[in-house]
Amino acid sequence: MAGELSPSPMLSDALVILGAAGIVIPVFTRFKITPVIGFILIGIAVGPYGLGKHVYEYDWLGHITISDPEGLEPFAEFGIILLLFTIGLELSFNRLWQLRKLVFGLGALELIIIGTSIAMVLAMMGQYWAGAIGLGLALAFSSTAIVLPISGTKTPVGRAALSMLLFEDIMIVPVIFMLGAMAPHAQAEGWEGLLGTLWQGGLVVMALLVIGRFALPRLFAQAARTKSPELFLAATMLVVIGASLATAAVGLSPIVGALIAGLLIAETEYHAEIEAIMEPFKGLALGVFLITVGMSIDLSTIWANLGSILLAVVLVLTFKAIVTGLLLRLMGARRSTATETGILMASPSETTLIVMAAASSALLIQPGTAQFWQIVTAIGLTITPLLAMLGRTIARRVEPVPELPEDDRDDPRVILVGIGRVGRLIAQMLDAHDRPYVAIDSDADLIERAKRDGYRATFGDAVRGDALSRLGIETAPAIVLTMDEPVLAQRMVTKFRKEHPDLLIVARARDSAHAAALYRAGASHAVPETLESSLQLSEAVLADIGVPMGPVIASIHEKRDQFRAKIEEEGALDYKPKLRTSTVEG
């Protein structure tokens, strides 16, 4: 009929994606299975190699299939950008600096050893040497988009994976330029382009760091004054997209800009609000990326070459797991951490597809070879959640990890977050006054040493609500944050105060400014290290020059109260939570 309106292909594709998200997320969450597998299976079903093959036979299939797979690629790339941005929000420059040896040590060794080893094997099998190098490096990459949401960034496994993935993300552009330089028609131009990108990229990164330090707090302060979530979202997207475009303009990967934007915002006091606003968008955009991975899997091609494809998958995964695990062991990681991280990092990456595309365009590998390894990569991405479960299972057998205690649930105990130097001292003082406690830490090495030395400590991630619930946070007289991570401490205080309004929260602060920020976040008491060390030095010198101890102690207490009142005033502390009263007899 003339003039009849036909549905827009874009709207039809959007309906399929939103419908998939509405089905996959609740169903897979209900059965405690990661939605990653669900999104990839949806991609297989609605893609050109699934139901899309029959769309010309049955018109109604057009409403439940993706009509333009290539049109989804920009949205998939944006999903990865948002993922790296949220990873940056969870980090801080202090934590990143602490990881520098792992990033440029472990990360470099992992990429070079795995990449060159696979390249040598492929070259011996008849692959042209330049193409073998391209395929070897491509297969050495692991999936940032899938691994980090599974492992997190705060556990030993998460920190090891993050270090290697950060180095891989940094090396994407140099690897692609190197492949371009190896092309028969572009030797000189490729190396010149690489050098130009490196110095221009360095200038852009420095500019982002300097401008962000001064501009972002003011930008988000203005957004906060309006009390408009929409403006917060708009400002956040402006920063993320602007930083990504800035790095992309000089040839760097846009995810480098997104990571820097996240790191800069993590240093502001608005990170928790931004993280909450961005969470739904990140999940949906990541789902789009996983659907595009599923759409690239041709089940008929897999069936026709089943033996060789499965053999390639098994060999690549096994080799990468062994090399990564051995490198971690050589760098001092526990057997369980090395085993779990090695297996989790074994599968290829979304970056593998990008690097292989660059090698194909440089005429280093044939189209048939590229298609074979693309299928291997897609299968590896699909089974990454299964590898994560396998890694955890084997790690527990290799080296059992202490489980959270199930007994004494009704006995109120002070919860110490962290069992390092400060946590141990607080535990000793609680023991001296016969007050029960339990310490929780995500560092298995610290837990093992603490338990060996007689401290009541257990392995777990305090950021996870279920870990603290099993330790009895609902009845705990207090929770004490002992770690020296300012950004993480502030986030945890905000989270605990929101979930437990009456809980006594005592937090270690780096200095007076950090203490004021902790008070604003909801801490009951924030103790600056610099202040306490100064008071102790004062006490020592006064006592040693002959001042009676009684007046010294009185003046120290008076000075401490003065500083505390000043810090609380700077922190705009206009409330005192009604704290729980412990039922434990002293």
> Can you tell me the distance from the alpha carbon of 304 to that of 321, in angstroms, rounded to the nearest whole number?
27
Angle of the 9-30 helix axis to the 35-46 helix axis, nearest 10:
140
Token pair belonging to 547: 């001042």
User: Percent helix, strand, coil in the chain (nearest 5)?
Assistant: 70, 5, 25
* 65 secondary structure, DSSP code: S
Separation CA 390–CA 343 (nearest Å): 8
586 residues of the chain, pLDDT tens digit each: 444 445 566 676 677 777 776 777 677 666 656 676 777 778 887 777 777 666 666 666 666 777 666 777 777 777 778 777 877 776 667 666 777 777 888 888 989 999 999 999 998 988 888 888 888 988 999 887 778 777 776 677 888 888 888 888 777 767 776 776 676 554 445 556 556 667 777 788 888 888 888 888 888 888 777 777 788 788 888 998 998 888 888 776 677 788 788 888 877 777 767 777 777 776 677 777 777 777 777 788 788 888 898 999 999 999 999 999 999 888 877 888 889 889 999 988 877 877 787 777 677 888 788 878 888 888 888 888 888 889 888 887 876 644 444 444 456 888 898 888 888 888 888 887 888 888 888 776 677 778 877 788 887 777 765 678 878 888 888 888 888 777 778 888 888 888 888 888 888 887 777 888 888 888 888 888 766 666 566 666 766 677 777 776 777 667 767 766 766 666 555 444 444 544 443 3
φ and ψ at 556, to 5 degrees? -65, -45
Nearest to 509 by CA among 531, 541, 494: 531
> Residue 504: which H helix or E strand, with range?
strand 504-509
CB atoms under 10 Å from CB of 251, counted, come to 17
Q: Taking a C-beta distance cutoff of 8 angstroms, is the pair 380, 299 a contact?
A: no
CA–CA separation, 471 and 438 (whole Å): 8
- Name the pTM for this structure: 0.60
Q: Give me the domains of the chain, ranges plus CATH numbers.
A: 68-398 (1.20.1530.20), 414-570 (3.40.50.720)
